[in-house]
């Protein structure tokens, strides 16, 4: 059984789709939801699914091995970032080499980096008059959005699209593809 931890900072729509996808799966268990925000919607999703949660604070996350130790204690094998906005510290990357993935709401390497998340990404893509956008699922390394790309899916951008309408298209891609890509990666671990 592969034990998965999901890190999320917000509402948790991707986490919800991942939890739903793996419900009843005998080979994968969502074992922990980690958040840096006590009021994050993802915590309610975790509670409804009877999944343990861990709230982390910035100083402990970056200055100690507490998070790594907690993940190891719980037997976590793989980490999924699903709307988690903090940069992952070296200690965590070293403890889980090629076992931390992230989803980005654009086609990397464009529109990535510090501060490029959510509507900031969609606003930048539309301002640049791009004809398409999409999602990128990638491994996490020591730099924002620079890890090796695992998967990309695209959507067209119409002249009438707004950051909000583009976000709707991107969410549909995320929800359709992220759980399946995770499952395929975990099959390789087994």
- Catalytic residue positions? 104
What's the Cα-to-Cα distance from 118 to each of 99, 104, 133, 166, 176, rounded to whole Å? 24, 9, 13, 11, 18
Q: Which of 119, 100, 94 is nearest to 10 (CA)?
A: 119
Pairwise CA distance, residues 162 & 145, whole Å: 24
DSSP string for residues in 85-141: -SPPPHHHHHHSTT-EEEEESS-TTTT-STT--HHHHHHHHHHTT-SEEEEEEEE--
Pairwise CA distance, residues 37 & 69, whole Å: 20
Q: State how beta strands 100-104 and 132-139 pair.
A: antiparallel
Pairwise CA distance, residues 184 & 6, whole Å: 16
Q: Which of 91, 107, 87, 90 is nearest to 149 (CA)?
A: 107
């Amino acid at each position: 059984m592969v034990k998965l931890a999901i890190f999320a900072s917000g509402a948790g729509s991707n986490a919800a789709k991942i939890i739903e996808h793996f419900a009843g799966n005998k080979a994968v268990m969502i074992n922990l939801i980690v958040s840096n925000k006590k009021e994050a919607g993802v915590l309610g999703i975790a509670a409804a699914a009877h999944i343990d949660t861990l709230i982390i604070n910035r100083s402990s996350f970056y200055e100690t091995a507490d998070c790594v130790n907690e993940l190891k204690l719980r037997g976590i094998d793989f980490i999924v970032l699903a709307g988690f906005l903090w940069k992952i510290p070296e200690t965590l990357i070293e403890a889980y080499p090629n076992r931390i993935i992230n989803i980005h709401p654009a086609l990397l390497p464009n529109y990535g980096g510090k501060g490029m998340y959510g509507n900031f990404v969609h606003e930048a893509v539309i301002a640049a008059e791009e004809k398409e956008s999409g999602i990128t699922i990638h491994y996490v390394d020591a730099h924002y959005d620079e890890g090796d790309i695992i998967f990309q899916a695209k959507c067209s951008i119409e002249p009438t699209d707004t950051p909000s309408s583009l976000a709707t298209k991107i969410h549909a891609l995320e929800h359709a593809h992220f759980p399946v890509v995770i499952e395929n990666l975990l099959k390789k671990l087994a």
